[in-house]
Amino acid sequence: MNLAPPLLARYAESLFWMARYLERVENIARLIEVTYTFESPGRESESWYALVRINADEESFSRAHGVADPEAIKHFYLIEADNPTSIPAAIEAARTNARVLRPLISTEMWKQLNQFHHALTAISPAELEGDALSRLTDRIREGVQAQTGITEGTFFRDQSWHFHELGRLIERADQTTRLLDIKFHVLVPYAREERRVVELTQWGSVLRAAAGYHAFRRVAPVDFSPADVVAFLLTDGSFPRSVRLCLEEIERHLVSLRIRYGLGGTRAALERAEEMRALIGSAEVERLSAGGLHAFLDNLQSKLILLAAEIGTAFFRDWRPLATDPAGQQQTA
């Protein structure tokens, strides 16, 4: 057993949330990118409002803007720091947690995060227009990836690393379900024949937004179906953003905390992760793709909220369960 001193609960909590908020920044950018790709002439408002729905932001968006205008929705997620599900709010929360962690994280991690925070809190309305929006989402994704690479190369592999990865993986699994869900919302209004024409192109765009297109093409048939894409993003055992692989990695980190560091309290979270992995393994993907996908994804998102709550209840200071918090916002004392 590792005899290193135990990690303070406040550090474990801040590591979990710092990683989760940084992953959220990247994934909001990916959702915006796929929404922009799906934007249809004459149906822009429908396409963009799907982003509001899958983040359960209907009420807060209505209070802030009323009408579902595409420009207002872009502003809501890319500029408005008082929107807790926006990119500026997420990067601010990540930096706030990182400040608590100065005794633990590397100088390189702190420096990169400060620079990235400055860039994301200075986004201008002009960057939300036309092709500038695609360039902006590219820069946001690249900034998070730079932070991930620096963390991978400099962060000490003790208990801290496991809590960091638990936060990142839970958020990643959740956001993969949301990418699939936005596809559901965008396709639903189409008639059967219109669906047939646009579907494969749009599923390809989902794969690209999840950074999975080339990996998918390595294992998928040339004439792939929507069910193949759903199966890949939910159940593939090798793709880093698949829900299954995220759950397997979550289990691995929980087991390490129990065995290497003697931390009790992992049983409920392990059982939840195993339950979710079994649920995904037993899913009839063809049937889901034909009409039951939204309800299945909604169920997965609810279970991920409970998984996070079980980790928080076991290890953090004053965790308030997230079961009633669809956005998965950080709980504070």
Assess if residue 320 is contained within a domain.
no
* pLDDT one-digit tens code per residue, 157-193: 999 999 999 999 999 999 999 888 876 655 544 445 5
pLDDT digits (tens, 9 = 90+) for 291-306: 688 889 999 999 999 9
CA angle 47, 49, 51 (to 5 degrees): 90
- 100: in domain: yes
The answer to the question of residue 13 being in a domain is yes
Residue 129 region, left (φ>0) first, then alpha (ψ -120 to 50), else beta?
beta
Distance of CA 167 to the CA centre of its chain: 10
Q: What is the 3-state secondary structure (H, E, C) of 141-172?
A: HHHHHHHHHHHHHHCCCCHHHHHHHHHHHHHH
Residue 79 tokens read as: 């500029």
How far is the C-alpha of 130 from the C-alpha of 149, rounded, in Å? 30
What is the predicted pLDDT for the residue at 188? 47
Please state, rounded to an integer, the average pLDDT across all residues of the chain. 88
Number of domains in the chain: 1
CA dihedral 131, 201, 175, 188 (to 10 degrees): 110
Q: Hey, is 132 helix, strand or coil?
A: helix
Residue 102 lies inside a defined structural domain of this protein? yes
Q: What is the pLDDT of residues 52-97, one digit of tens each?
A: 988 889 999 999 998 889 999 999 999 999 999 999 999 999 999 9
pLDDT at 282: 86
**Span 7-24, average pLDDT:** 96
H helices present in the chain, as ranges: 9-38, 44-54, 58-65, 70-78, 87-100, 107-120, 131-154, 159-187, 192-209, 213-219, 226-235, 243-259, 267-282, 285-287, 293-315
Give the amino acid at 260: R
Residue 321 pLDDT exceeds 60? no
Answer yes or no: is 310 within a domain: yes
Interior/surface letters 14-32, b for 16+ CB within 10 angstroms, e for the rest: bbbbbbbbbbbbbbbbbbb
Short-list 215, 225, 245, 230, CA closest to 184: 230
Q: What is the pLDDT of residue 96?
A: 97
Q: Is residue 56 part of a domain?
A: yes
What residues make up the domain containing 47?
9-315
Is residue 321 assigned to a domain?
no
Q: Which of 201, 231, 202 is nearest to 216 (CA)?
A: 231
What pLDDT sits at residue 40? Answer: 62
Which has the closest alpha carbon to 182: 329, 326, 39?
39
Of 6-15, 48-57, 143-152, 215-224, highest mean pLDDT: 143-152
User: Does 326 reside within a domain?
Assistant: no
pTM over 0.85: yes
The DSSP result for 209-266, as a single string, is HTT-HHHHHHHS-TT--HHHHHHHHHH-SS-TTSHHHHHHHHHHHHHHHHHTT-----
- What is the crossing angle of helices 159-187 and 243-259, to 10°? 160
Lowest mean pLDDT, pick from 9-18, 30-39, 141-150, 210-219: 30-39
Tokens matching residue 316:
């953090």
Tokens for 189, please give them. 């209004």
Nearby residues of 223 by Cβ (< 8 Å), 6 or more positions away: none
